[in-house]
Amino acid sequence: MPDNPSPILKKPCLSCGELFSPPARGSARCALCLRDPKTGGRGTKEQQGYTKEFQRLSRRAKKLQPFCLWCSTTGSNSNPLTTDHSPEAWMKQQRGEKLTLDDVQVLCRECNSRKGAARQIRVRRF
């Protein structure tokens, strides 16, 4: 009887969509997208793009615009105001350019979650 190894089935990574061969334990993410438990799964704040420069701009943006850009709420304990990069800001950071207040969006947590990842997709505003 010949030894026929079972075919290795590839599946798409839940994070990036690339096809990969899952390990025996059945991870849903490729090796590049596996989360680091020490940093809560997404890397450090710096690795996520939230540099000290961005954090300084975020504080200033919230003072100048104390409401959500999309729904105009002023925030609450259950839905606080957050700040995030505009889609253009990621490109500027990759080119090594300085960020400005125009690169920071003040959004409530609900709208920020609806917006999705600015680096990966372009989402229409509601």
Alpha carbons within 13 angstroms on the beta-carbon side of residue 76 total 5
Residues 58 and 102 in one domain: yes
* Claim: this prediction has a pTM higher than 0.75: no
| Count of the separate structural domains present in the chain | 2
Residue 69 lies inside a defined structural domain of this protein: yes
Question: Which tokens in the block code for residue 113?
Answer: 């979650």
Residues 90 and 64 in one domain: yes
Residues 106 and 57 in one domain: yes
Residues 103 and 63 in one domain: yes
> Which residues are CB-neighbours of 61 under 8 A, at least 6 positions away?
83, 101, 104, 105, 106
Residue 3 lies inside a defined structural domain of this protein: no
Which of 72, 70, 58, 80 has the alpha carbon at shortest distance from 116?
70
Between β-strands 104-108 and 81-85, what pairing exists: parallel, antiparallel or unpaired? antiparallel
Task: Provide the pLDDT for residue 5.
Answer: 57
Residues 56 and 110 in one domain: yes
What share of the chain in percent tops pLDDT 90?
25
Residue 17, domain extent: 8-34
What share of the chain in percent tops pLDDT 70?
67
Residue 87 lies inside a defined structural domain of this protein: yes
DSSP string, 14-57: TTT--EE---TT--SS-TTT---GGGTTS--TTTTT--HHHHHH
Task: Provide the pLDDT for residue 48.
Answer: 67
Q: Is the pLDDT of residue 126 over 70?
A: no
Residue 43 lies inside a defined structural domain of this protein: no
- Band of residue 121 on the pLDDT scale cut at 50, 70, 90: very low
Residue 21 lies inside a defined structural domain of this protein: yes
pLDDT tens digits, 34-76: 655 554 455 667 766 778 888 999 999 999 999 999 999 998 9
- Band of residue 11 on the pLDDT scale cut at 50, 70, 90: confident
